[in-house]
Structure 1
Amino acid sequence: MDLVATDNSTRSKQTPINMPLVPPLNFAMVAPGVYRSGHPNRQNFPFLRKLRLKTVMYFAMEDLTPEMENFMQEENIEILHYRTEGNKEPFLEISTEDINHALVKLLDERSHPVLIHCLKGKHRIGCLVGCLRKIQRWSKTSIFDEYRRFADTKVLADLEFIETFEEGSVPYDPKQKPFWLY
């Protein structure tokens, strides 16, 4: 197997020349330095390596796979695992506390580049991104349109969560905010 020449980075692994770069399920850029997706697997590691991630936020009850844990350890990536359920009517709701904590990290440029993901990159991450969009002062129509592009069906409880989320309750440090937050 041919290897790419080292690129003066501090990363531990080299990427094979002929290895395709495969993004994780539902991968997209949310903002410069902020990416979203479903749960990555081994075939996504070369792609993720190119992002030079500092932080990964994982929203799911399930543990990370040993492969993913090893990858993040090798790449020196900080992992924040939010063990939170998704919104399921009538009684289960995603944790507002977890969303607030994750938003504080997302709005701190020292955490970037960052990948936020849940199992499929749809509902829990859709709620997180929707709440971020409220902080960015997007219109509700634009927020909900973006949510639906990733979420397919099951939307009502999530849209209600986003709509009632108090964006002013996120105690981020304005001195560390990314340039794309006005």
Structure 2
Amino acid sequence: MLTPPEQFGIVEPGLYRSDTLHPSHFPFIRSLGIKTAILLTPELPSRAMSNFFEENNIRLIDLALGSWKNNSSSNSNNNNSSATDGQGQGASSGGGGSGAGEGASGSNTASSLIPSIPAAPFQTSWWKPLSEELIKDGLEMVLDAKNYPIIVMDTSGIHEIGTFMGCLRRLQHWNFSSIIVEYRAYAGNKARYVNEQFIELFDVDWITLPESLPPWWIEQEQMWREEEEEREMLLCQEAEQESRRNVERQKLQQQLQGN
């Protein structure tokens, strides 16, 4: 039986949200074919969750810690480390090369533990649930079709992720009232006004769209542009009609004054 996480939700095709995963959720998550997992909270993932991602070749991005973990690169580093160990042992059996072999092995082992991006937590203002930098980086990852399917997670599945998804909805041109309705649908009585305020004030112009956008984004943007063009056309027609009415009023006033 497949058991989804309590706060699991489908945001868009191939884009999911969730709270922390537990072993009982793994079969369900595996069925989604997830390629990338993004963590928004600074807590380190559990060993079980890390092992699950590695076993299923899921790229884990711990965004709040500023650390990235690419399983393919980790496996490559491990293979290089093993090869170096073998060379060190061979040199040792040949005599005189033990120290060099052990030194190279230690160096590779240490380098495999260093993330590809230096670990440095994003700094936030005292009232902000997340930093603008984290939201920017996360949204640009979510809008990159190369990362799909994606699951975005935080500890509770409510606060950080609710703020993050609210900013995404802003970028999708959602009405702010609709954004808050969705946020509160997940948050319930745990909703925070400060999160809603952050969503409202977030500057969506700061986001740089990647070259490869997901199909759902392209389709929605096209629909939005068509609606905007139609709205502008209607406004122009209304302005022209109002202009004609004003001209007719002026003519009528002139006729009345002439009589």
Is 1:125 aligned with 2:161?
yes
Q: Which amino acid aligns with 2:199?
A: I
In structure 2, the residue matched to 1:151 is: 187
Once superposed, what is the RMSD of the aligned Cα atoms? 1.7
In structure 1, the residue matched to 2:83 is: none
In structure 2, the residue matched to 1:114 is: 150
- 1:71-93 CA-partner distances (Å, limit 9, x unpaired): 000111111112279xx995453
- 1:77-135 CA-partner distances (Å, limit 9, x unpaired): 111112279xx995453111011001001001111100001011101000111011011
For structure 1, the residue ranges without an aligned partner over 5 or more in a row are: 1-19
TM-score by length of structure 1 reads 0.83
Contact 2:127 2:194 (8 Å CA) reproduced:
no
For 2:55 and 2:126, how far apart are their aligned partners in 1? 41
- The aligned runs of 1:1-150 (5 Å cut-off) are 20-83=1-64, 91-150=127-186
Question: Which residue, 167, 172, 175 being the options, matches 2:204?
Answer: 167
For structure 2, the residue ranges without an aligned partner over 5 or more in a row are: 66-120, 222-259
For 2:194 and 2:174, how far apart are their aligned partners in 1? 20
For 1:132 and 1:83, how far apart are their aligned partners in 2? 17
Which of 75-84 and 52-61 deviates more?
75-84
Q: Give runs of ≥4 in structure 1 deviating > 2 Å.
A: 82-85, 88-93
Task: Give the deviation of 1:61 after TM superposition.
Answer: 1.9
For 1:93 and 1:32, how far apart are their aligned partners in 2? 27
Structure with larger Rg: 2
Contact 1:24 1:40 (8 Å CA) reproduced:
yes
Structure 1 residues 135 and 91: CA distance shift in structure 2, 3 A: closer
Task: Give the deviation of 1:45 after TM superposition.
Answer: 0.4
For 1:157 and 1:92, how far apart are their aligned partners in 2? 7
TM-score by length of structure 2 reads 0.59
Percent of pairs with identical residues = 33
Contact 2:16 2:151 (8 Å CA) reproduced:
yes
